[in-house]
Amino acid sequence: MTDRPLTPLLDTVDVPADLRKLRPDQLRQLADELRAEMISAVGTTGGHLGSGLGVVELTVALHYVFDTPDDKLIWDVGHQCYPHKIITGRRDRIRTLRQGGGLSGFTKRAESEYDPFGAAHSSTSISAALGFAVANRLKDQPGRAIAVIGDGAMSAGMAYEAMNNARAAGNRLVVILNDNDMSIAPPVGGLSAYLAKLVSSRPFLELREIARRFARKLPEPLHKAARRTDEYARGLAMGGTLFEELGFYYVGPIDGHNLDHLIPVLENVRDSDHGPVLIHAVTQKGKGYAPAEAADDKYHGVQKFDVITGKQAKAPPGPPAYQNVFGETLAKLAESDPRIVAITAAMPSGTGVDKFARAHPDRSFDVGIAEQHAVTFAAGLAAQGMRPFAAIYSTFLQRAYDQVVHDVAIQNLPVRFAIDRAGLVGADGSTHAGSFDITYLATLPNMVVMAAADEAELVHMTYTAAEYDLGPIAFRYPRGGGTGVPLPEVPEKLEIGKGRIVRQGKAVAILSLGTRLAEALKAADTLEARGLSTSVIDLRFAKPLDEELIRQTLAAHEVCVTIEEGSIGGLGAHVLTLASDAGLIDAGLKLRTMRLPDVFQDQDKPEAQYDAAGLNAPQIVDTVLKALRHNSAGVEEAGARA
């Protein structure tokens, strides 16, 4: 949205090998130019801004010191990887970020040898880096693995599981704790930088090893005491005792924006025989861009924006976002029901729970990046008579499937799952798509699974879930704005397992689940224009199915098509099973299922993604006509009837 910045030094760097030719005193200029280029690029495309700005110096320092791509650099989550992409051969495509056919907004193995591990879900980096490091050790080949993980991602148990096993990697594993919330770190400055450089230096480590050897000759009680003295002396000076207990040699905290501090410490760690090592770097989200520094939450993920003013391009006014409809509805219901509580896993605004939290702060719980805990916490609340709503993105709920099965479904506890980002999600691509929840939930005994066709239906389903105490219940809804239908003043309690007839016809029936209903109605208009009387059913429930309505529909129509925003194994599979078990397809009924293709779809605009998936109105029409054996001109062949 503005002219590109002048970047004479960055223009000489295409890959990290070029970066390593620079003098240390040139790195500050390079980092400044890299930051300016990233701001300009994200201003053009939108995307994650604050997190990437916070790791510019870390990115430069890591690629300068370590021999990437032979040394494996793994970014946890990956949304902070834009500076990394710019200096690893992808600058010419950086303004295609998150666009159809463009660069992914996360690291991606298929995109570059400098992305050794694809990431987009949090807290996986240490486990993956440990795998790379141990593999190199077992194969007796050089190469370190460096994991960069944020303090938020450290709230997930998986990070500690990996650290607890990290001794197996020895000095081949380096973890950078990117602490951008000051939630762990004491103040940093010259003294802490000096201490970090000192304790990571070869003389100190050699002296420490001599002391260790001497201590081993002491009686066991004195040996243990000497070891504790070393650990806690550094712990008192620098923090990090927890990491020492997990087997890491802790260095820090250091200023993650000061290259004069970062480079010597990283070089010491690179050249050391000791490890694994954890370097604690304190950074600032949005560093170097005033609007992002002032409001790092607002600039975590952004639309296109004006680089000079920081003003983000606003979407045209339209219907409310689904997550806001959910959050506001739940907050209103909780006014008269003190048993309602809301749980989110580090996504309060993304799920709408922030609106509930403002109205009922004592009944709102953000448990951090800990979906497994969120689900079992909700199960405990339900077992004690509360009405918990676990509001979790579909893609993140996958991480807690064992808890959904064992802690909720088997015990038949009435946990309410508000499943956001159902279906395809646009720019975030395959890693964040809600493709599988219908399949993985509707297969479970005791589970009720609903899908809202529009925002009014979401209001009804939120209320229905609140009032349902017989077992677990889930309702799914997509990312983005609704359809514009009026929101009901008084929510309706839906009958469990009952759909609704939206349009009555005679020849063709479209059985829709979720927000493909609008496309189903468009398809019905086209089919009616061709003389094919078409029914449209909003099934509402993937489980339990409305068996009576489905039986009647299949018996009364020549062609029936199911459509859903989910993978194979969902609604269509359940309807086919019902039809097969009941013999409803024995007499020649033409039954077709439409669902997401069996691929991981890359990022694009949602409407383009659904077109590629074959789930828009023209493809529904085509499916019906092929079932009736109409030719491409729309002329009926013998045997087909309207």
Above 50 in pLDDT, residue 134?
A: yes
Q: Which of 285, 387, 516, 543 is catalytic?
A: 285
Strands (E), 379-467: 387-393, 416-420, 448-451
Residue 304 annotated to the active site: no
Task: Identify which of 200-204, 221-225, 294-298, 374-378 has the greatest average pLDDT.
Answer: 374-378
Cis status of the peptide bond prior to 142, with omega within 30 of 0: no
Predicted confidence band at 194 (pLDDT cuts at 50, 70, 90)? Answer: low
pLDDT number for residue 515: 97
pLDDT number for residue 162: 95
Provide the whole-model pTM.
0.87
Number of H helices, E strands in the chain: 26, 19
Q: Which of 33, 57, 244, 371 is catalytic?
A: 371
Per-residue tokens: 118: 């694809």
Residue 543 annotated to the active site: no
Residue 285 annotated to the active site: yes
Say if residue 636 carries a ligand binding annotation: no
Helices assigned H by DSSP within 427-497: 437-442, 455-467
Contact 351, 393 (CB under 8 A): yes
pLDDT number for residue 288: 85
Q: Which of 144, 399, 476, 590 is catalytic?
A: 399
Domains and CATH numbers, the chain: 10-201+242-294 (3.40.50.970), 322-476 (3.40.50.970), 500-633 (3.40.50.920)
Helix orientation angle between 190-199 and 202-216, rounded to the nearest 10 degrees: 60
Say if residue 525 carries a ligand binding annotation: no
Per-chain mean pLDDT for the chain:
89
Contacts of 383 (CB under 8 A, 6+ apart): 411, 413
Average pLDDT of the segment spanning 557-584: 97
22-46 pLDDT, tens digit per residue, is: 999 999 999 999 999 999 999 888 8
pLDDT number for residue 254: 92
Say if residue 101 carries a ligand binding annotation: no
pLDDT number for residue 275: 85
Say what percent of the chain tops pLDDT 70. 87
Contacts of 585 (CB under 8 A, 6+ apart): 554, 579, 591
Distance CA 251, CA 198 (A): 9
Above 60 in pLDDT, residue 226?
A: no
Closest CA relative to residue 616, chosen from 627, 631, 605, 629: 605
Chain-centroid distance of CA 407 in Å reads 23
Chain-centroid distance of CA 133 in Å reads 26
Distance CA 564, CA 456 (A): 19
Contacts of 321 (CB under 8 A, 6+ apart): 352, 480, 481, 482
Say if residue 371 carries a ligand binding annotation: yes
Residue with tokens 């309060």: 348
Q: Within a 13 Å sphere around the CA of 277, how many CA atoms are in the beta-carbon half? A: 28
Say if residue 25 carries a ligand binding annotation: no
